Amino acid sequence: MKATPLNVRSFALICSLLLGLGHGTCVLAQVDPAYFAEHSFSRADSLRGALRPERTSFDVTYYELHLDVDVEDRELEGKVVMEYTVVAPTRRLQLDLFRNMGLDRIVQDGKELRFTRIEDAVFVDLPEILPENSRHAMTIYYGGKPIAAKNAPWDGGFVWSLDQKDRTWVGVACEGTGASLWWPNKDHLSDEPDSMLISVTVPKRLFVASNGNLRAEEEVGRWKKRYDWFVSYPINNYNVSLGIGHYVHFDSTYVATDGEELALDYYVIDYNEARARKQFRQVGPMLRAYEHYFGKYPFWEDGFALIETPYLGMEHQSGIAYGNRYMRGYLGGLIPEDMDWDYIIIHETGHEYFGNSISVADHAEMWIHESFTTYMEALYVEFLYGQADAIRYLMTQKRFIQNESPILGPLDVNFDDFGSSDHYYKGAWVLHTLRHAINDDPLFFGMLRSFYQDHERSIVNTQQVIDYFSRYAQRDLGPFFEQYLMHPEVPLLLLRENDGAVEYRWSVAAESFNMPVQVWVDDEPIRLQPVPTEWQELGWGFRARDVRLDGRRFLAEIEIVNAP
């Protein structure tokens, strides 16, 4: 989760796949260059966002993060053991660590390696060319004061806070800004380790909650304690997190439809235990809803956890950050007043499916994380309350759609400033519109479920979504996604009166756009198949102003124009 309207920065090239029953051509398209004008990317942006041989030459398979947190001076001291496989022969690797953090030394095979720091990138020189398929382990020693977040989770950094009893409470959120703000790693979405150990030492009075399963608690000397957490699945670097505070733990289980039990663990500040036990009862019905639509929770062996944090929330894999203050909706708002569910629990858990299990390799395509997850909120409502209430919930989101910038962002740069929240709310409405354009719920939900299960725990891109959906639905969905993802304006249904008849056609930027749409004339629903290239006759005996778009099922607009 990282949703708040910000400033539009720019856009880039994207492949729009045009398919005809399984055969497609990839066509490059570009939006108005004006979308580039408001932002010029720095060298640091490119070093973080782009893939170059120093990055693509190796694949990280495992991290061990060993960290000692000084909560008084707000400093970190630690080391990272990085195991990797060489993909292409190389003598130089790029790692990432923010320039304000000290980098003491890097060791491999007992030898200290030379390195060069440029902006937030670290280029490591190896003593010899490493051959393809060889496997290695590198240890990076570092320390310093990580940046503090001003408004987490919308900016990255540590949150050094106090609980209601003025006791230490620490969290960290780094989506977009990057995990390298607090630990050295290959900080690119395209490379996830297969597993990870997170070992954190703190003063003995405090507890550390993190991702995965708690493997060990060990006293370190007289005053400290170490907590070892292990993640057994691939994980995005920005999902690695920790909470430090006066936590209490309680647990439960969720029983899947096949009878298998999932461990549910909750870590909350001690005085909130009673509130948490009540609020977190929502977890079971939510997991049932998501299992219904997509299948079982994807990180079963690591369990499901909620960790109370001093900021609103974040989808940290198998250890979701929760800070909604045990309120309904989004801090008491956002959802209809007659509904009672916790937005942060529902939304951030949706990311376990889209964002954590299915991930993207570039921030430009974060719509795959956020649009699907935001639509999952509506599916949760539909499962518990019914389709009418799901549409009513979606209508509350519709007012936040801005249509000022494309849903897709610029590739190959460190970019997370989309200018609006359209990759959330508009993206959810794109999926809702696709559902009703297809007009076949078994097909639509079968497509969603099959796409998720065929790509579970993998990295995908926009072209793969278009390709898969087009083949599954057996229709060309390339122009549909081109219009909604690459252009800020929604489809415009033009109406005119010509010799007593009302006529219609699409006005769109995507030339081959041919989405069906439903309108109402008086109380009669009529399904149309407009195209941008020609006017079609809707009927006689009524005026263009009598035609209403079905705005509860389609994201589009109507405009009446003059007759020829």
**518-560 confidence digits (pLDDT tens):** 999 988 999 999 999 999 999 999 999 999 999 999 999 999 9
**14-44+358-486, superfamily in CATH?**
Neutral Protease Domain 2 (1.10.390.10)
Asked if 415 contacts 396 with a C-beta cutoff of 8 angstroms, the reply is no
pLDDT, the chain, mean: 92
Flag whether pLDDT at 28 surpasses 50. Answer: no
Closest CA to 316 of 305, 329, 326, 332: 305
Encoded tokens for 107: 């060791």
Backbone angles phi, psi at 374, to 5 degrees: -65, -35
Flag whether pLDDT at 25 surpasses 80. Answer: no
Flag whether pLDDT at 563 surpasses 90. Answer: no
Average pLDDT of span 147-157: 95
Residues counted in the chain: 564
Scored b (16 or more CB within 10 A) or e, 489-500 reads: ebbbbbbbbeee
Average pLDDT of span 94-101: 98
Closest CA to 503 of 464, 542, 554: 542
The Cα–Cα gap between 32 and 307 comes to: 43
41: confidence class by pLDDT, cuts 50, 70, 90: confident
Question: 3-state class of 463 per DSSP?
Answer: helix
The Cα–Cα gap between 51 and 388 comes to: 45
Give the per-residue pLDDT at 416. 66
The Cα–Cα gap between 49 and 378 comes to: 32
358: confidence class by pLDDT, cuts 50, 70, 90: very high
Flag whether pLDDT at 409 surpasses 70. Answer: yes
Flag whether pLDDT at 404 surpasses 50. Answer: yes
Q: Which residue has the higher pLDDT, 168 or 4?
A: 168
* Encoded amino acid at 314, one letter: M
Q: How far apart are the first and last CA of the chain?
A: 48
Q: Which residues pair with 213 in a beta bridge?
A: 230
292: confidence class by pLDDT, cuts 50, 70, 90: very high
Give the per-residue pLDDT at 411. 84
Scored b (16 or more CB within 10 A) or e, 66-88 reads: bbbbebeeeebbbbbebbbebee
pLDDT in tens, 435-472: 999 999 999 999 999 999 999 999 999 999 999 999 99
Residue with tokens 């990432």: 96
Scored b (16 or more CB within 10 A) or e, 411-449 reads: bbbbbbbbbbbbbbbbbbbbbbbbbbbbeeeeebeebbe
Q: Which fold has domain 51-351?
A: Immunoglobulin-like (2.60.40)
Flag whether pLDDT at 18 surpasses 80. Answer: no
Flag whether pLDDT at 4 surpasses 70. Answer: no
Flag whether pLDDT at 106 surpasses 90. Answer: yes
39: confidence class by pLDDT, cuts 50, 70, 90: low
419: confidence class by pLDDT, cuts 50, 70, 90: low
pLDDT in tens, 198-223: 999 999 999 999 999 999 999 999 99
Average pLDDT of span 31-35: 47
66: confidence class by pLDDT, cuts 50, 70, 90: very high
